[in-house]
Structure 1
């Protein structure tokens, strides 16, 4: 079975395969699992767009916006508020801050999201998602004990993309300053790097990403978090095998 992706929520874990998307939630002490068939035209459209270099990154951005619009709204409001705080100031220190403000705001935004993960249950479900995915690759017959021994970081976490984009932004910022086009450039090129994982740079990016995953975006899960993640993976496996 191909695992196309995973995601953690406040009380949920979801996994996507070739044909189905499955989400498991903890409701009133019970694990509730639902599946959704991925429509054929969605797969076909995705395949076409994924074959077009650089354009495919914009498709991913659109999917992110549609599925996680609340996070983007929070980030947008955070940036607007930060800009207003510095608006109109003329002292040298603030001028320097304004020049690096956009990039620094992005860094603090990532840290802020990590803190939200930490103070809620998302970090624990995120860790459980990673651990279950890691365990499934080793042995598809999942148990809590088998999952427990797995690392809570993952080689293909979306954090890798975030780190790649921030890394490119830092480089572009040094050469071109805080011009708006560097953000689009970092996203488009960063996506291609994230997709192909070139060895000359990926070792560094993965090391930074796993550190961020461990410190900011995951926390040690309890059995209930693992059980929810296992239910999502087992539900996906059942749906995908039945589809075959």
Structure 2
């Protein structure tokens, strides 16, 4: 559990929360609207350093809490006054004439004084008077002090049980539970939502109810050791010791709120049990009011470290995104270059394949053409051989025919070569041209040799 330093109290249809010098009261109006008033209260400890010391700070805190509580109760009650205008009483008119603008503050001070007098009379004087009545029956002063303390506690419990039967007080006790649940939610490390607050405990160690019980318990210890024979002096001492007892009780409550030791928990149990009378389970609307009151004076997100975590996440997310964008930007030109290189390679490959195919086609065509030429030449040679055989076996008359046939053969070969050159659409490779020339030269030699034989 991490102490938040936030405290508060229930008011009429609302909750007051205080953090350091800031306090806010949130009230749900009859039209269901939530009104939040935030104010600053400068403690007297800022001016008088004495009240920053232990015990003295508790005395001051007790007095200031009563002042702030009275103000916030008056503020919350102002929203539920009757709509009909009430004529001011003669006393109100008299205070207005005398104190003018400060009349309301004076009336509040008087009311506060009367409340303190009644509290002292009921919870201090009355138990002491009842214990003195038993003085004739009980001789031990220690037992009388203990009996006085027990009577005081019983009167306090009876008072709480009696007022808790009132409808308005019941609802105020429900808002008291909402106040405790909201603070417990913070100090347990949960986000301040209605769902999280709902299942928190409605008891808290720093509650005013526990403080009152500790005051009554500490008073027993004080009165055991402080003994006076005069009855009037005994009452006076009890009244004068109230601030000191409150200061000591405050220090215990302050320490208990920060400690989880078993001894402190055991000593805090009676006050926690007594809170069962002053707190009730709130509804969601009451929890909502308590949350708004806390948010007006306390940054619970910063307290839980939610802002820093979210900022770290945002920074990490931004870094990751920037890194991804940087990598993508770096990869994009490389991808384009790789694509261009691959396209160039593909184009080169395609062009080389096309050239190869064209070369193969031209070679095939040349081979087919040259093959045709060779076939024709072979046919011519075969014919010439046949003619030569005929010329050898025949007479002179056949020689004349052979000469004419040779001329015709030469002419036909020349015509065939010319026609082949004309009909060739594909350019002939130089190697095939040389081969063709060799064939023609061989044919010329053959014809020359034939002429010489003749």
Measured against the shorter chain, the TM-score band is 0.7 to 0.9
Which of 217, 222, 225 is the equivalent residue of 2:286?
Answer: 225
Name the SS of the counterpart of 1:142 in structure 2: coil
Residue 297 of structure 2 corresponds to 236
The alpha carbon displacement at 1:220 in A equals 1.5
* 240 and 74 in structure 1: CA distance in 2 versus 1, 3 angstrom threshold: farther
Give ranges in structure 2 of 5+ residues lacking alignment: 71-111, 229-233, 303-454
Residue 156 of structure 2 corresponds to 110
Cα RMSD for the two superposed structures: 4.0
**Deviations 1:12-31 (CA, angstroms, capped at 9, x unpaired):** 10111235211111211424
The alpha carbon displacement at 1:33 in A equals 2.9
Decide which structure has the larger Cα Rg and report it: 2
Residue 184 of structure 2 corresponds to 134
Residue 60 of structure 1 corresponds to 61
Give ranges in structure 1 of 5+ residues lacking alignment: none
Residue 217 of structure 2 corresponds to 167
- How many pairs are equivalent? 237
- Does the 8 A contact of 2:55 with 2:247 survive in 1? yes
**Deviations 1:139-182 (CA, angstroms, capped at 9, x unpaired):** 56433221111111113222332232222222333344584255
Name the SS of the counterpart of 2:43 in structure 1: helix
Higher helix share: 2
Please give the TM-score of this superposition, normalised by the length of structure 1: 0.74
4+ long deviations beyond 4 Å: 79-83, 89-96, 99-102, 181-185, 198-201, 238-241
The alpha carbon displacement at 1:94 in A equals 11
The alpha carbon displacement at 1:184 in A equals 4.8
Superposed, 1:40-51 pairs within 5 Å as 41-42=42-43, 45=46, 48-51=49-52
The alpha carbon displacement at 1:219 in A equals 1.2
The alpha carbon displacement at 1:125 in A equals 0.7
Higher RCO (C-alpha under 8 Å, 6+ residues apart): 1
The alpha carbon displacement at 1:228 in A equals 1.7
- Does the 8 A contact of 1:49 with 1:59 survive in 2? no
* 227 and 109 in structure 1: CA distance in 2 versus 1, 3 angstrom threshold: farther
* 28 and 112 in structure 1: CA distance in 2 versus 1, 3 angstrom threshold: same
